[in-house]
């Protein structure tokens, strides 16, 4: 399975990047006002917003090529959490378009959102 590319420094992300955890809870409300709650998933789904700046042409091309090879949201790959170092084997991009800009030598930038998949 392909892995999300790393930068020349070996890092996956740069500051400021963000991560979130999404829980799935269903709430049933009864006529008398009581509630009953059910967990939709046993564990939260993780999502990372990776912002990359000051990329050289090779790094930006590597990320853009990886995104194209995955077909945006269609592909799956492994992703290493930049905060914990944990490898999540079933991830995909959260969108079908990549906003990448090359503004000169070592001035490339892009931002992608990676999400963990169930299964």
Report mean pLDDT in 10-residue bins for the chain, 119 residues: 83 77 83 87 84 86 92 92 90 89 78 88
Q: Could you give the C-alpha distances from 61 to 20, 27, 32, 46, 98, in angstroms and in order?
A: 27, 45, 59, 26, 12
Residue 59 lies in a domain: yes
pTM of the model: 0.74
Residue 8 lies in a domain: no
Number of domains, the chain? 1
Residue 1 lies in a domain: no
Six-digit token string for 76: 């799956």
Give me the pLDDT at residue 115, please: 93
Residue 91 lies in a domain: yes
Residue 4 lies in a domain: no
**What is the domain extent for residue 71?**
18-116
Give me the pLDDT at residue 20, please: 80
Six-digit token string for 112: 């992608």
Dist CA 66 CA 109 (whole Å): 15
Residue 92 lies in a domain: yes
């Amino acid at each position: 399975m392909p892995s999300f590319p790393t930068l020349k420094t070996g890092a996956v992300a740069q500051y400021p990047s963000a991560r979130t955890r999404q829980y799935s809870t269903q709430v049933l409300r009864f006529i008398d006002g009581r509630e009953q709650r059910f967990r939709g998933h046993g564990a939260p789904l993780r999502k990372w917003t990776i912002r990359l700046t000051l990329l050289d042409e090779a790094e930006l091309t590597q990320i853009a090529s990886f995104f194209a090879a995955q077909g945006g949201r269609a592909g799956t790959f492994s992703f290493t959490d930049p905060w914990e170092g944990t490898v999540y084997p079933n991830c995909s991009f959260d969108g079908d378009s990549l906003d990448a800009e090359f503004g000169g030598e070592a001035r490339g930038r892009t931002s992608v959102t990676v999400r963990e998949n169930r299964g």
